[in-house]
């Protein structure tokens, strides 16, 4: 997945504001899920949502205005209501901009309580692994 | 109302990104409504929300990182489901950073259809005028 | 130009937060300029930047989470240091989500003073008209 | 430091979007530094900036629209060009919303290379410890 760095993503330091990498990671997880065949607006109608429980992010090098970034998303582990992703942002010089381990819980969107990842989604996730 | 310009608000040009003034205006309308005695989370529970229908914003001078801005909010007109605000952002040199006329509709948050501003809110709005 | 609505773009009302349309318009102007052959990071190195001076935006219909939007960008007028754009956001039902007239000034990024649009850029802009 | 949750901070799930906690943490570090007597715009004029190198954030409970949050910021460790912060976001029910360990590097803003925290800042940091 490619992401262009626009003005909105940068700050007065001239580089991407660190919180915005979490936006990029979220976009990439959404596209990853879409490629598996699941649209999150449809899942929400079935009361299924995802919330991030833990982030460990390392920022290796700044990304700059107008740079074209690539993001790799890998599901490391999935059990019950818990998903563990590894994600990497790669800069236009093939350098690692940031990498992260992100733990996500699948929840009922109304109660925000954990709920098992449905079997069809789990099946697709395991298939691509 | 005072708003501090943080890194998140600026862009690589070193000044506040223009979309963020609309965030500041929205914060100020929320605080204006709170001063009238109305909390928007409570209003949402009663299915009342507000959506912006029209913005006319003039940007006079850039606001900079770490600047302390002030925002003035004035209700110009209120009729049925339609509210017209005038808002001004004033910079730390007492200069006009931006001003805007913003037309807001009160809506049912479930249907997003226009719904009259409730009489108690309307009464408070007219009282402060 | 297509833009996907991600979680980051929406608010608790379940629809796109109004300030974010200005982000989408800015992304589209950047891509429009790129198609003419101009990269804004290169222009910044030559001290050329663009700041928005006036926005008139009408919001016709809400855009929703996960919706795929299209944006049309048209340069209406260009004279000296002033550019006037018309931009429209079209929803997945071919409905108009928002349209805007946006006046942009070309500036020296160091002084933020207006500076004429360079002849080569102006030439390309007129060519595509 | 208190932070109000505005519409802009929430997403279609009705809660604060996870990247925005990093914005809140950054605001709090800026205010913490201001209380020590240092304004970041002045530091930037002296070419001193701060970039985040590592984030470990745990999200314990969602924060909601209109909630008033408090943030506690503690400097755990400072050596050379490296600062380690512990930060906690506390919800309106005195619950822990999120906590984070954030490692920041002090850098030259032009080269983005690490540079020692200046002695006067270091002195103030150690004084408040």
Neighboring chain A residues of C67 at a CB cutoff of 8 Å: 41
Neighboring chain A residues of B17 at a CB cutoff of 8 Å: 7-8
Q: How many residues does chain D have?
A: 129
List all chains that touch chain D, counting a touch as 3 or more CB pairs closer than 8 Å. Answer: A, B, C
pLDDT at D127: 85
pLDDT at C102: 98
In chain A, % of residues over pLDDT 70: 99
Q: Which two tokens stand for residue D77?
A: 């460790």
Are residues C85 and C52 in contact, defined by beta-carbon separation less than 8 angstroms?
Answer: no
pLDDT at A62: 96
Low-confidence stretches of chain B (pLDDT beneath 50): none
Q: Out of B9, B11, B120, B129, which one is annotated catalytic?
A: B11
Strand B2-4 to strand B68-79: parallel, antiparallel, or no bridges (unpaired)? antiparallel
Residue written as tokens 């660190």? A18
Q: What is the average per-residue pLDDT within D94-101?
A: 98
pLDDT at C89: 98
Q: What is the average per-residue pLDDT within D33-49?
A: 95
| Chain A residues bordering chain C (beta-carbon distance below 8 Å) | 4, 6-8, 23, 26-27, 30, 39-41, 44, 64-67
Whether C58 has a pLDDT exceeding 90, the answer reads: yes
pLDDT at C96: 98
Q: Let me know how many helices (H) and strands (E) chain A has, helices first.
A: 3, 5
Average pLDDT over chain D reads 96
Which residue of chain D is at minimal alpha-carbon distance from B65? Answer: D41
Which are the contacts of D4, defined by CB distance < 8 A and separation ≥ 6?
A: B27, B30, D66, D67, D68, D69
Average pLDDT over chain C reads 96
Here the ipTM equals 0.95
Hey, are the CB atoms on A39 and C66 less than 8 Å from each other? yes
pLDDT at B127: 85
Minimal CA–CA distance to A17: which of D57, D61, D25, D15?
D25
In chain D, % of residues over pLDDT 90: 95
pLDDT at A127: 85
CA atoms within 13 A on the CB side of B88: 9
Hey, are the CB atoms on A13 and D53 less than 8 Å from each other? no
B2-128 CATH, one of 3.40.50.2000, 3.10.129.10, 3.30.565.10, 3.40.50.150: 3.10.129.10
Hey, are the CB atoms on A15 and B13 less than 8 Å from each other? no
pLDDT at B78: 93
Distance separating alpha carbons of residues D26 and D89, to the nearest angstrom:
12
Which residue of chain B is at minimal alpha-carbon distance from D14? Answer: B41
Which are the contacts of B123, defined by CB distance < 8 A and separation ≥ 6?
A: none
Are residues D58 and D98 in contact, defined by beta-carbon separation less than 8 angstroms?
Answer: yes
pLDDT-derived band at D2, boundaries 50, 70, 90: very high
pLDDT at A117: 94
Minimal CA–CA distance to A126: which of A62, A60, A84, A75?
A75
Distance separating alpha carbons of residues B79 and C59, to the nearest angstrom:
19
Distance separating alpha carbons of residues D59 and D17, to the nearest angstrom:
11
Which residue of chain C is at minimal alpha-carbon distance from A28? Answer: C6
Q: What is the average per-residue pLDDT within A65-70?
A: 97
Neighbouring CB atoms inside 10 A of B4's CB total 14
Are residues C121 and C128 in contact, defined by beta-carbon separation less than 8 angstroms?
Answer: no
Residues of A annotated as catalytic are 11
Neighbouring CB atoms inside 10 A of C54's CB total 17
Q: What is the average per-residue pLDDT within C62-69?
A: 97
Nearest-by-Cβ selection for B14 from A12, A17, A64: A12
H helices within B1-129, ranges in order? Answer: 19-35, 40-45, 119-128
Are residues D45 and B72 in contact, defined by beta-carbon separation less than 8 angstroms?
Answer: no
Minimal CA–CA distance to A6: which of B65, C22, D122, C67?
C22
Whether A129 has a pLDDT exceeding 80, the answer reads: no
Residue written as tokens 């002849």? C119
Hey, are the CB atoms on C62 and B112 less than 8 Å from each other? yes
Whether D129 has a pLDDT exceeding 80, the answer reads: no
Q: Out of C11, C41, C94, C99, which one is annotated catalytic?
A: C11
Instruction: Give me the sign of the Cα torsion angle B16, B17, B18, B20.
Output: negative
List all chains that touch chain B, counting a touch as 3 or more CB pairs closer than 8 Å. Answer: A, C, D
Distance separating alpha carbons of residues C30 and C15, to the nearest angstrom:
24
The structural domains of chain B, with segments of one domain joined by +, span 2-128
Minimal CA–CA distance to D20: which of B41, A13, D28?
D28
Distance separating alpha carbons of residues C112 and D54, to the nearest angstrom:
34
Neighboring chain C residues of B22 at a CB cutoff of 8 Å: 18-19, 22
H helices within C13-128, ranges in order? Answer: 19-35, 40-45, 119-128
Whether C129 has a pLDDT exceeding 80, the answer reads: no
Neighboring chain D residues of C14 at a CB cutoff of 8 Å: 12, 14
CB-defined contacts C:D, below 8 A: 32
Which residue of chain C is at minimal alpha-carbon distance from A9? Answer: C23
Q: pLDDT tens, C70-81?
A: 999 999 999 999
Secondary structure (3-state) at B42: helix
In chain C, % of residues over pLDDT 90: 95
Hey, are the CB atoms on A22 and D19 less than 8 Å from each other? yes
């Amino acid at each position: 997945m490619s992401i262009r760095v626009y003005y909105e993503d940068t700050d007065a330091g001239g580089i991407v504001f660190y919180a915005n990498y979490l936006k990029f990671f979220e976009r990439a997880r959404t596209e990853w899920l879409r490629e598996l065949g699941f649209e999150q607006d449809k899942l929400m109608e079935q009361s299924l949502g995802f919330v991030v429980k833990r982030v460990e992010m390392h920022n290796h090098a700044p990304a700059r205005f107008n740079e074209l970034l690539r993001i790799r998303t890998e599901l490391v582990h999935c059990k019950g209501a818990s998903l563990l992703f590894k994600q990497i942002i790669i800069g236009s010089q093939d350098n690692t901009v940031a990498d992260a381990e992100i733990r996500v819980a699948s929840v009922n969107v109304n109660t925000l309580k954990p709920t098992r990842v449905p079997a069809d989604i789990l099946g697709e996730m395991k298939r691509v692994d």
